[in-house]
Amino acid sequence: MAPRIESIAIPSEDQRTFAGILKLPGAAVQALEVGLRKAVPTLERDALISELRREPSLGDIEDLESLVGAFLSLAGTAYAGGMPVEEVVDFVVGQLDSDEVIDLSESDRESLKAILYKLAKTESIQIVAKARQLLLANDRNFEKVKIVTDLRPVFSGDEMVIAGEVIIHQLTIQAQHNGRMETTFVALDSIDLASLHDEVARALSKDKSLRQFAKVSQTPMLTPAGDEGVQGQ
């Protein structure tokens, strides 16, 4: 069967991270695997790293942030492409030599593959990678929103007499689209604004119901950082 991966761009710093795994003592690799298996799944890489940092046995691993990022990248690429993690790992390790950033012996390559197979397939890495992919698997992903409200005069006749005013709300939505920030401007009147408020309130009510369902069913809820305010609705 022909390989399904044609190319993956691997920054030189990430290549050095992968190569650095070979310098970790066996006990450190084992402790990292245990820590990842014990970790509570979260959407936030920093939260996962903080939990791992609390493990005394992982205190000596200085490059923990880069390592976790590398494992998430491998698992996320595999999930997005519908491929086994092993296939992505094989391709990535095979690219390390060809990019001439590091030089691996055949023994080093096999050892690195074995470690990456194991760590990138731990449940916490798999769940987080899949959740992040699902969260972002949209044509556009919301970034931020702002509403500017104006009072605009209505002039009458040639004398420029103000005959009245209208209130205009300009909704500005920023979203990520194909790796770029996209901005959309939408004008609302007061009725539109009330309708938008009702839809947001309805969505928050559904959000709360789904969270309660997840709690009853004892399903972990993976949420971004700063989500506590939504949970309190």
Q: pLDDT tens-digit profile of 196-212?
A: 999 999 999 998 898 88
**What pLDDT score does 204 carry?**
92
Which of 136, 169, 203 terminates a domain? The answer is 136
Q: How confident is the model over 149-176, as a mean pLDDT?
A: 90
Q: Give the model's confidence band at 101: pLDDT under 50 very low, under 70 low, under 90 confident, else very high.
A: low
pTM over the 0.85 mark: no
**What pLDDT score does 170 carry?**
97
pLDDT at 188 over 90: yes
> Which residue from 94, 126, 93, 125 is spatially nearest to 18, judged by alpha carbons?
93
- The highest-confidence range among 38-42, 151-155, 184-188, by mean pLDDT, is 184-188
Kindly state whether residue 1 falls inside one of the protein's structural domains.
Answer: no
In this structure, the answer to whether residues 32 and 82 fall within a common structural domain is yes
Residue 155 is part of which domain span?
Answer: 139-188
In this structure, the answer to whether residues 65 and 92 fall within a common structural domain is yes
Query: Could you write out the DSSP letters of every residue in 100-121?
Result: TSS---HHHHHHHHHHHHHHHT
Kindly state whether residue 168 falls inside one of the protein's structural domains.
Answer: yes
The average confidence (pLDDT) of the chain is 83
Q: How many domains does the chain have?
A: 3
Distance CA 222, CA 210 (A): 12
**What pLDDT score does 211 carry?**
86
In this structure, the answer to whether residues 52 and 102 fall within a common structural domain is yes
CB 18 within 8 A of CB 70: yes
Q: pLDDT tens-digit profile of 9-29?
A: 666 677 778 778 888 888 888
**What pLDDT score does 7 carry?**
60
Q: pLDDT tens-digit profile of 212-227?
A: 888 888 777 776 655 6
Kindly state whether residue 3 falls inside one of the protein's structural domains.
Answer: no
In this structure, the answer to whether residues 75 and 131 fall within a common structural domain is yes
More confident residue, 192 or 102: 192
- Between 32-36, 92-96, 147-151, 167-171, the lowest mean confidence (pLDDT) is in 92-96
**What pLDDT score does 97 carry?**
65
CB 152 within 8 A of CB 163: no
Distance CA 69, CA 49 (A): 9
Q: pLDDT tens-digit profile of 41-96?
A: 777 777 888 888 888 888 778 788 888 888 888 888 888 888 888 988 888 888 77
